[in-house]
Amino acid sequence: MQTIFRPRWRAGAFLLGTLALAGCANLSHDTGFCDVAQWVQQRAGGQTRWTRNEEDGGAIRKEVERMLSQPLSADSAVTVALMNNQGLQAAYDELGIAEADVVQAGRLPNPRLSYLRASHDGAYKIETTFTFNILALFTIPMATEIEKRRFEQVKRRAALQAIDVASDTRRAFYAAVAARQMASYAEQVRESAEAGSELARRMAAAGNFSRLQQSREQAFLSEAIVQVDRTRQDAIGRSEALTRLLGLESPSKLKLPERLPDLPKAVDDLRDAEQQALDGRLDIAAARLDLEGLAKSLDLTRTTRFVNAIEFGPAWATETPEPRKKGFELSLEVPLFDWGGARVARAEAVYLQGVHRLAALANEARSEVRERYSAYKTAFGTARHYRDDIVPLRKAISDEMLLRYNGMLSSVFELLADAREQAASVSAAIEAQRDFWIAETELRAALAGASMTKPGESTARVNH
């Protein structure tokens, strides 16, 4: 609908006041990023920054360099990624776009000036109209509310993307540390296998070792050499994945600890994990806002189903030799063929679709949290079993075998076979410890609403 500009001062004053009121909505100072940073801090345990100018970029680079000068922990790696991942910075730029849409929705449309001049044989005719969409005065509040809800959705989606990066970084960190630990242990196993193979060769030369036993030790050495190559390559790949998430140019700047963190004393007791997910997951919060926005859109569609534009304003006509004439012009859409029924039906269907999607998302969230909490507890039990039972038992067996060998009660073959079994147990223990920390990361991600990535899959969804 359009408002009229009467040639009288009261109409002009009214119009100026209306325009001033519509122009009150301005861009904020932080563009909603403070809310995003707070949500990320609460759910991902890291501080995030948004590079909006060269000054911000310089400060972030200095902070990243300071953190990289020391060995990284899982938390510090997350903080580096949240500040330095360029793909995440691009996601934050969406905040500025969404807020600009909010401000634009609160602005009245510009008035329309129409000028017509026709002449013939010295005679002329001039028509001038100045119209304004007065329907916008009624629809602007609803349109602004819709854009505000969309802005809130964008903020939550930006936070979710940051939480995705944080979760991926934790997974990549634990995988990289475990890979380096496995590579280091594989080197120790290779050295032990070389010693065993050399011993077997000498004993076979002296006639104290069979050809079969010597071949078994040579095969174990060959397998140990291959395992060293595999673990080294895996360590390189894991370091590169972490490098991409941290937004670094090279893994040479990475300083990782030599071993994984120790297991906690006990698992977290999350009896109300499902309710925590429903209350705290940002994807569910975004879906709820989306549904509210769809409801507002449905109301707006119903309001404008018959007429969605009314233009009204003063008009002047001059035609020789007649005196100048004043009046007004009114234009509106005539609902002759389209009564808006299809638009309303579509809006209703879209709203119902949003209801069903929210319900499906809630069920999916419950299921994810139950699954991840079960995996978390199982991984803890497995890692603890290796730490407290299997590895100590293997060490005790190895010590006993060494004593028996020194006492001439067991053979070299039995001692070397036990060394192979102990190596397999230690490797499995490292993997179990890694899997626990990744399972703990997956549980935190499920509670926050971040996307799920299984251990071993690519963790570089958001990078350069």
pLDDT in tens, 297-352: 666 566 554 444 445 555 556 566 666 666 655 555 545 444 456 667 777 777 77
Within a domain: residue 453? no
pLDDT of residue 291: 75
Q: Is the model's pLDDT at 13 over the cut of 60?
A: no
Six token digits for residue 86: 């360029």
Within a domain: residue 122? yes
pLDDT of residue 316: 54
CB 88 within 8 A of CB 161: yes
Least confident of 4-13, 166-175, 306-315: 4-13
Within a domain: residue 461? no
Q: Partners of 118 in the beta sheet?
A: 125
pTM confidence score = 0.72
3-state SS, one letter per residue, for the chain: CEEECCCCHHHHHHHHHHHHHHCCCCCCCCCCHHHHHHHHHHHHCCCCCCCCCHHHHHHHHHHHHHHHCCCCCHHHHHHHHHHHCHHHHHHHHHHHHHHHHHHHHCCCCCCEEEEEEEEECCEEEEEEEEEEECCHHHHHHHHHHHHHHHHHHHHHHHHHHHHHHHHHHHHHHHHHHHHHHHHHHHHHHHHHHHHHHHHHHHHHHCCCCCHHHHHHHHHHHHHHHHHHHHHHHHHHHHHHHHHHHHCCCCHHHCCCCCCCCCCCCCCCCCCCHHHHHHHHCHHHHHHHHHHHHHHHHHHHHHHCCCCCCEEEEEEEEEECCCCCEEEEEEEECCCCCCCCHHHHHHHHHHHHHHHHHHHHHHHHHHHHHHHHHHHHHHHHHHHHHHHHHHHHHHHHHHHHHHHHHHCCCCCHHHHHHHHHHHHHHHHHHHHHHHHHHHHHHHHHHHHHCCCCCCCCCCCCCCCC
Per-residue confidence at 408, pLDDT binned at 50, 70, 90?
Answer: low
The Cα–Cα gap between 254 and 127 comes to 74
pLDDT of residue 459: 38
> pLDDT > 70: what percent of the chain?
72
Within a domain: residue 65? yes
Within a domain: residue 140? yes
CA dihedral 177, 183, 188, 192 (to 10 degrees): 150
Domain that holds residue 430: 2-448
Within a domain: residue 355? yes
User: Roughly what angle, to the nearest 10 degrees, separates helices 412-448 and 33-44?
Assistant: 150
Q: What are phi and psi of 262, to 5 degrees?
A: -65, 155
Helices in 304-389 by DSSP H: which ranges? 341-385
Please state the rounded mean pLDDT for residues 93-109.
Answer: 81
Within a domain: residue 372? yes
Q: Is the model's pLDDT at 16 over the cut of 90?
A: no
Within a domain: residue 304? yes
pLDDT of residue 234: 92
What 3-state DSSP class applies to 328? strand
Higher pLDDT among residues 164 and 285, named by residue: 164
Query: How many CB atoms are located within 10 Å of the residue 146 CB?
Result: 21
Least confident of 147-156, 206-215, 217-226: 206-215
Higher pLDDT among residues 46 and 20, named by residue: 46
CATH of residue 315's domain is: 1.20.1600.10
Number of domains forming the structure of the chain? 1
Higher pLDDT among residues 331 and 123, named by residue: 123
